[in-house]
A and B are shown apart, each in its own frame.
Chain A
Amino acid sequence: MKSSRRLFLKQGAIALASVGLAPAFGPKFLRSAVYADAPARLAAAAGGKKVMICIFQRGAVDGLSMVVPHGDANYYQLRQVGPGGIAIPNSGPDALIDLDGFFGLHPSLAALKPIYDAGHLAPIQAVGSPNPSRSHFDAQDFMESAAPGMKVIQDGWLARTLNNCPEDQANMRELFRGVSMTSRVPRSLEGYSHSIAIPDLKTFGLAQSNKVRDLNPDGTPGNAAPSDMSGAGAFEAMYDQGSGDVIHGAGQETFEALKVVKSLDARPYVPANGAVYPRGAFGTSLMQIAQLIKADVGVEIAFAEIGGWDTHVAQGATTGRLATDLRDFGNGLAALYTDLGDKMADVAVLTMSEFGRTARQNGNGGTDHGHGTCFFAMGGEVHGGRVLGQWPGLAPEQLNENRDLVVTTDFRDVFGEMAQRQLGLTDLSALFPDYQTGPDKYRNILSV
C-alpha cells in the first residue's frame, strides 16, 4: 500500500481524515508487517537503482588550485610559484598532474588520476552562480536552494528532486531516499519530509536506561547496543501520533531509521577492494554512505559536506593548508570509488562549492572570495577522462571584474543534468523556478 504519509505531511496540518488505514498511523502491527516485507521488495527494486551522492565543499574552494589551468599563459602571471606563492608548478617533484595538456590536477589529488584515466571522473571548470554575491551564507543558500537571488524559496533542490522523481511511485520505503551524513538536515534537503540526517552510523542507536555506554575492547566507549530496542518502544510511543508537528514527524522517522540501521550487518564495516578511507569525519561520512548504498536500504540521494576551504590566509601551494585538505578530499573520493566497485555503474558523485576564489593571491598568501569554481563528477556513467565546461581564460579582460574566474556554466545546468540523466527527473521546471535548462545547455557530464 502506497504510504500516504507524504501526502498528509505536505499539507502540514492535522489532516488525517480521508486517509483511512494508511500504514503510518494504523495499528502498529500492521505497520510492522508492511515494513517487514519491504527489505525483500526493495532489494528487487534496488537492483540498478540510480544513486546520486552530493558533496558540498563549504567555504568556497579554490577551483584554480584543484584543477590547475597550467596551459593558460596568465596563470603563472597571476600566481607565483615558490615560497609564499600559491601557484602549482608544472615541473619538478611537486608538479601538478597533467590531465590534457592544458589542465592538471593538484598533486594532492593524485588518487583521482587513475579514475580520470579510466574515464569515470570529469572535472567541470568555471561553474558557478549568476548571482554576484560573494557572501558564503547567501551563496550557499542560493546554491542549495538552486534559486540564486530568490530568498523566498524555502526548500532545497535535492528535496525538489526527490519530490518530483518518477521512481517515487515504485518506492515502498521513503525513509532513506534522502540521507545526509551531517548533524542537521542540510539546506539542500529541506522540504523533503523524509530527509534524514545521520551524523555517524556507528552511534546511531538508543542507549539503554540505567546503563553506562558499553566500552569497546580498545577502551573507547561504544554506542549502546543497537540491537536492544527496549528503550525505543517507550520513546516511540510518544511520537507515534501523526499530528503535523515537525518534531513528531522527525521522531517517527528516527524510529524507522533505527529499525533499518538495526537490520544492517552489525559487524564493523570493511571497505571492499582494499579501499582505504582517510581518517576523519569526511572519510567516515563517505564510508558510511557506501555502507548504506551497499545495504540496499533505498538510498537515492546521499549528501556529505566538508569544510575548511575558506583559504583567505596561508593557502599554500603544493604543501600547506589547502594541499592537506585536498589530499583527504581526493583520497576520500578515490576510496569511495574503489569501495563501491561495480555499484559505481549506478552511482554518480557530484562535488560542488558555493563559489571560487580570486585569481590573484592576496596580501596574506591566500585568496579572497571569487566566482567560478570547479566541480567534479564521478561515476560509472560519467563522461570522464576529460575536463568539461567552457574555459573563459585568465587574461585581465577575461576575468570577472578583473578579479576572479568568470562563470561559463550555470550550476543549475549541472544540477539539472544530474537530476534528469542520473535520477530520471523529467519535470525540470519543477526543479528550477524561473530558470530554463535542458540538454542543449548540459555539459554532457553523463551519457544519456
Chain B
Amino acid sequence: MADVHSERRKHFLGRQSRSLAAAACLLLISGAAEAVFAAPSSIPAYTKAQKQSALTEDQKISLVLNRLAFGPRPGEIQQVRTMGIDAWIDQQLHPETLDDSTVDAEVARLEDVNMSGTDLMAAYKEDKARQKAKQQERKLLNAANGTTGQVQPAVGTPQLDAGQVQPVAGIQGPQAGAAGAGAGASMLSLQAGSSVVASNFGANGLQTRSPRAAENLANLPDMMPGTSIEALGELASSKVLRSIDSNRQLQEVLVDFWSNHFNLDVNKGPVQDLIVADQRDVIRAHVFGKFRDLLEASAKSPAMLWYLDNYQSTRTFTPQVRPQRYRYVRTMQYINGSAVAVPVMRELPVGRPAAPAKARKSGLNENYGRELMELHTLGVDGGYTQQDVTEVARCFTGWGIDQQTGEFMFYPNRHDDGQKIVLGHLIPAGGGMQDGETVLDILASSPSCAHFISKELCVRLVSDTPPEALVDRAAATFTRTQGDLREVVRTIVTSPEFYSPSIYRSKVKSPFEYAVSAVRAVDGHYVAPDPDNLRGRAAITADAGVSIRRRPNRYSGRNSPSIIQEIADLGEPMFSYEFPTGYPEISSRWVSAGGLLARFNYATALGSGQVSEVNASPTDLLAGIPLTDHMAVLHKLVGDILNGDISDSTRKALINEMPASGPVDPTQLTALIIGSPEFQRR
C-alpha cells in the first residue's frame, strides 16, 4: 500500500534525527510501560504527533488551517506551503486584501441581511400582529360556533357596555379601519355579557393591544408577510455560505467566536430579527477593530438591549401617591336585622381608590450590568462585586430601543442621574448617557479585561487549556494596543507555543465547525436557496423556523435536511443558545455518545450527497482514479480530507471496509473518513 508514513519519514528523518527517533522510541518503551503492550498501531495520530519533538511543515499548515480557518480544502495545504504560512496568515489578518467577489455576489442575493433596524422591527411586529389576529380570529370563530366557551378579551381592550353590540372588525373582510359601531350585525357580533370584545385592528388588519399601538403599527413601513422569519433564514444562510466558501476564513472564524462571546438567542422576541443588524453592524464591522468599539456597538445593539433586558431598565422612582378623598353620604340602612331604617353617614372614596403607599419602585434591571462584566469584559473572577453590578446597571438606565425605528435610543427621563461608583471609579451625577460610555471605558481598559479576552481567544484558537505564557503575552498586546483585536490575534498565532505538538488536533470540533469543515474537506460548496422564488423562500423559512427559531426539530417534513438543520441536529442550533454564556468554547464539552452518533449520520448524509443546500460530490475527488484500485482511492481520499495523517487503526478499519473485489463505494468511504476519530478533531 502506498505508505504515506514512509514517504514522510524519508523527508523528515535525516541521519541524526534517525538516532533521535530511536532514542525517543526507547524512551517511549521504557518510560511509559503501558505503551509496550499497546500495539503502536492503536495510538491515534494526534497522540503520535504530540510525541514528536516538532510538527512537520504539513502538520503546521494543517494546524493553521484548522484553527484560523474552518479546515482545509483538498489541495489547500499545498497552496499554503507554496505561499508560506506567514504570508497566508498575513493575508488573513488583512481580509480586505483578499478577493472574495464570488461569495460577495452570492451573499448579495440574500438581501435581507442588509435590512435596516426599522425594517427588521417592522417585519417582526407586523408578523406578530398577524399571528395574534389569526389566533383571535380562530377563537372568535370557535366561540361563535359554540366549540369553546368564553373567549378571553385581548389585553387592554375596552369592555363592552351592557346592551351594546359591536361587530368584530377584521372578520368580515380585509378592510378593518376603525371598527364602525352598528355597521350591520355580523354573525360574529356578540351580546353583552360575553367577554369577547371589539378587537383593535390597525389599518392593515393586524391585531394590536390598543388604538395607539395600532396607529404606531400603521406608521411602520409595510413589510411582506413572513419577512421576519425569512430574514433570520437568510442570515443563517449567509453565515454558512461565508464559513464554507469565503476566502477570508480567519474573519469567519472570528465572527463565529465573537458572535458566541456576545451571545444572542433568537427565541427571545424581536431578537429573532434584530440579530440581523447585530451581526452586520456589531460583529462583522469590528472583528479586526478595537475592542472598545466592538463593546460599544454591542451595548447599543437593539438585539443585545432586548436580549439582556436593558431596554426596560429605568431609574428608581417614587410613585406619586394621590391623597385619597372621600365624600360623605347620608343613607338609610337597616341595621342588625331591625325592621326600621335609620340614617347613617357613609364614607365613600371619591374616584378610583388610590394605590396604597408603596416603597420606592425600582425599574432597574441588572441583567445587562452583570453579564457585561461577567461574560463580555472581565470574566466571573474579574474582581467586581454585586454592588458594582447594581451601579453599572444604573449607568445604563435609559439605554433603550426606539420602538418605531428599531434603533438605539437614549431616554434621558429613564436615566438614573445620581452619582455612581463603579469598580472604585467615581462617576459624578448628571452624566446622562456619558455614564454608560464611561463604564465601557473603565471595563475595556481594565487589565482583567485584557486577560479575559485574551484567554477566550486562546481557548478558541489554541487549546482548551492554553499556556499561561501565551495568554499573558496576548494580554500584554491587548493593553499595549488599547484592545486592537487584529494585533492580539496576530500575537497569538505567531507565538512559538502555537506550533507546539501538544496543540495539534488537540481541540474537538464544535458541531458548526464539524459540519462546515466536512463540506470543505470534500471540496463542497454551499448553495443558498433562492429567495426570489417560492421554493427558495420556503426552504429559507423552514430552516429558520424549524432549526433555529425553535429547538432542533428533526421532523421538518423534508426528506433531505439542509445543512442548517444538520447543524441543529448536531447539537448547536445557530443563534439559539438560551444563556448569555454562549456555546461552550471548552471543546471537550462537545464529546458525547449522542453527539457522535449525530456526526456519523451527518457524515453519511454528506457522503451520499443527501445534505441539501450543499454541493458536494466525493466522486469528483477521484477523477482519473479507477474505483477498482482500492489503495489509490483510499490514498487520495485520506490525502484530500485528512492530509494522510491518520492512525494505523483507522487505516486498517477503512481497508477492511473495502469490498474484496470490484469498485469501491466512494460515498461510503468518504462518510467513514469524515466520521473518523481524526476528523472530529482540529
Contact = CB atoms under 8 A, between A and B. Distances in A.
Interface of A: 13-17, 58-59, 132-138, 183-185, 195-200, 203-213, 215, 219-221, 223-224, 231, 234-235, 237-243, 245-248, 250-251, 253-254, 257-258, 281, 307-308, 312-313, 362-364, 368-369
B667 A209 contact: yes
Contact residues on B (Cβ < 8 Å of other chain), bracket: 35 or more
A130 to B, nearest CB: 16
A432 to B, nearest CB: 22
A207 B657 contact: no
Interface string B557-600: 11111000000010100000011010010001111111111101
Interface stretch (B52-60, B365-373, B486-494): B365-373
B559 A250 contact: no
A250 B592 contact: yes
Nearest to A253: B593
Which 5 residue pairs are nearest across A and B when measured between Cβ atoms? A363-B363, A15-B34, A237-B653, A183-B571, A220-B555
Contact of A219 (B557, B595, B652, B672): B557
Contacts of A15: 34
B234 to A, nearest CB: 24
Contact of A17 (B37, B555, B598): B37
B361 A363 contact: yes
Contacts of B649: 238, 240-241
B365 A184 contact: no
Given A17-B33, A197-B595, A212-B559, A135 B380 contact: yes
B19 to A, nearest CB: 24
B601 A16 contact: no
Contacts of A363: 312-314, 316, 361-365
A199 B572 CA distance: 12
Given A215-B559, A363-B365, A198 B593 contact: yes
A213 B183 CA distance: 55
B370 A135 contact: yes
B36 interface: yes
A271 B627 CA distance: 51
A41 to B, nearest CB: 23
A312 B604 contact: no
B157 interface: no
Nearest to B366: A368
Nearest to B555: A220
Contact of A258 (B32, B361, B597, B604): B597
A240 B653 contact: yes
Contacts of B596: 247, 250-251, 254
Interface of B: 32-38, 42-44, 46-47, 309, 312-314, 316, 361-367, 370, 374-375, 380, 386, 508, 551, 554-561, 569, 571, 578-579, 581, 584, 588-598, 600-601, 604-605, 607-608, 610, 649-650, 652-654, 656-657, 665, 667-668, 671-672, 675-677, 680-681
A197 B44 contact: no
B173 to A, nearest CB: 32
B604 A231 contact: yes
Given A17-B34, A240-B653, A362-B364, A183 B594 contact: yes
Contacts of A17: 33-34, 36-38
A254 B37 CA distance: 26
Contacts of A200: 554
Nearest to B558: A221
Contacts of B605: 207
Given A183-B594, A245-B47, A364-B365, A134 B579 contact: no
A29 to B, nearest CB: 16
B367 A312 contact: yes
A196 B605 CA distance: 24
Given A185-B592, A221-B561, A247-B508, 18 more contacts: A14-B38, A16-B34, A58-B578, A134-B386, A135-B374, A196-B593, A200-B554, A209-B604, A213-B559, A213-B561, A219-B557, A237-B657, A241-B649, A313-B312, A363-B362, A363-B363, A363-B364, A368-B365
A364 B308 CA distance: 13
Given A13-B34, A363-B314, A368-B366, A197 B604 contact: no
Contacts of A183: 571, 592, 594-595
Contacts of A251: 596, 677
Contacts of A237: 652-653, 656-657
Contacts of A223: 554
Contacts of B364: 362-363
B146 to A, nearest CB: 22
28 contacts: A14-B42, A58-B578, A58-B579, A135-B370, A135-B380, A137-B375, A196-B593, A197-B593, A199-B594, A204-B594, A209-B604, A220-B555, A221-B558, A224-B601, A238-B654, A238-B675, A243-B42, A245-B677, A247-B591, A247-B677, A313-B365, A362-B365, A363-B316, A363-B362, A363-B363, A363-B365, A364-B313, A369-B366
Contacts of B652: 237
A391 B545 CA distance: 45
Given A17-B34, A135-B370, A250-B592, A235 B43 contact: no
Given A14-B38, A209-B604, A215-B559, A238 B677 contact: yes
B268 to A, nearest CB: 10
Contacts of A234: 653, 657, 668, 672
Contact of A243 (B47, B588, B607): B47
B473 to A, nearest CB: 24
Given A16-B38, A136-B579, A313 B597 contact: no
Contacts of A364: 309, 312-313, 363, 365
A221 B581 contact: no
B364 to A, nearest CB: 6
Contact of B556 (A221, A254, A281): A221
B644 to A, nearest CB: 16
Nearest to A401: B386
A184 B590 contact: yes
Nearest to B152: A319
Contact of B555 (A185, A221, A224, A240): A221
A262 to B, nearest CB: 12
A184 B34 contact: no
Nearest to B33: A17
Nearest to A136: B579
B650 to A, nearest CB: 5
A133 B675 CA distance: 41
Contacts of B312: 313, 363-364
B581 A207 contact: no
Contacts of B551: 281
A212 B609 CA distance: 10
Contacts of A281: 551
B233 to A, nearest CB: 19
Contact of A246 (B32, B362, B591): B591
Given A196-B593, A221-B555, A234-B672, A313 B309 contact: yes
Contact of A13 (B32, B581, B667, B675): B32
Contacts of A132: 386
